[in-house]
Amino acid sequence: MNYIVLDLEWNQGNAAKEAQDPAMPFEVIEIGAVKMDSRRRKTGDFSRLIRPSCYHTMHFITGKLVHIKEEDLRDEAAFPEVFRDFMEWCGEGPVFCTWGPLDLTELQRNMRWHSLGALSDRPLAFYDVQKLFAIACQNRRDRLSLENAVDMLGIEKSIPFHRAHDDAFYTAEIFAKLPEQVLANQSYDCFVIPRDRSEEIHVVFDTYAKDIYRGFPEKQDVLSDQGIMGTKCYLCGKELERKVDWFTSNGRHYYSVAYCPVHGFMKSKVRLFKSDDGLAYAVKTKKFLTDTEVAAMVKRADKARQKEKYLAYQAKRQHPQMQSQGRIQMQSQAQGQVQVQEQV
């Protein structure tokens, strides 16, 4: 088994020169990686530039950040060749590690654009080293930038940042220093979502549980599914009575609080997403709360419901006005037709 610590650099469309392709909003122009064995010892390096196939003009932000020019890419191989070389270098059964959650999704969007499929036929387990660092060294607080994490661990900054292999090198240095127990906290890339119940992800970590559900045609189908919106204790499996019913303040994240007589108050959070195939799906997390956290959730729910009532009231007030405006517009059109008829 090899750990593949991966970093990508990508370009995007310039609105004035090249339209953004929604199927591939970010085109990979560099792959950098460090290979590590099962004991997290470095065993190899990979670094390749890629000739663009979609965006041929370097976006000014990309050029400024990574210091890659268009002429640097003209004589390089295209993505399919570089990707195949990369996967051959990775070996069988690679376990990917990245700084943050984005790289594997964008890599697979590029793969699909070039008709190369995906890395997996379901959600792909990987290590988000940025998250692992936050768990191990920051008591789960906000995520640090790669350079700040390097500084915090006292790692020598022997090469610059913001090129694919260089950032992969520093990510590998951090990964090698993390305690073994933190590796229980795997992440999942959802470029490919579960096709049915048998492929859904249900995993319990040390302080919370996560579920990744199959896709549905519409958002409302997700919210109507009792298997998703039900509240079972993730430790004992009991159906729980909700003390704070489901609420949302933005229509994308839904929260509830239920009570387990054995384990206490449990918060459920359902986040709604749309897959690249256009299906609605949910990622649900569950964790137990302190009394102070429960009180804060009650306040959040009250605030969200007050907002919902206010928006409903505003919509009700505007509705008669819209009807009135519609009648006035129709009357004006009718009067105009009469005037035209009189002129004729």
Query: 140-158: per-residue pLDDT in tens?
Result: 778 899 999 999 999 999 9
* Count of C-beta atoms within a 10 Å radius of residue 46: 19
- Residue boundaries of the structural domains of the chain: 3-188, 194-294
Cα 96 from Cα 108, distance rounded (Å) = 13
What's the rounded Cα separation, in Å, for the pair 291 and 288? Answer: 10
User: Strand order in 209-212's β-sheet?
Assistant: 201-204, 209-212, 280-288, 264-274, 253-260, 241-248
Is 172 in contact with 146 (CB distance < 8 Å)? no
Q: Token digits for 143? A: 């995520």
Within 10 angstroms of residue 212's Cβ, the number of other Cβ atoms is 20
pLDDT below 50 — which residues of the chain? 328, 330, 332, 334, 336-344
pLDDT confidence of residue 314: 82
Fold observed for domain 3-188: Nucleotidyltransferase; domain 5 (3.30.420)
- For residue 338, what pLDDT is reported? 36
How far CA 92 is from CA of 165, 172, 238, 285, in Å, comes to 21, 19, 41, 31
Q: Which residues contact 134 (CB under 8 A, 6 or more apart)?
A: 140, 141, 142, 143, 144
The letter for the amino acid at 191 is F
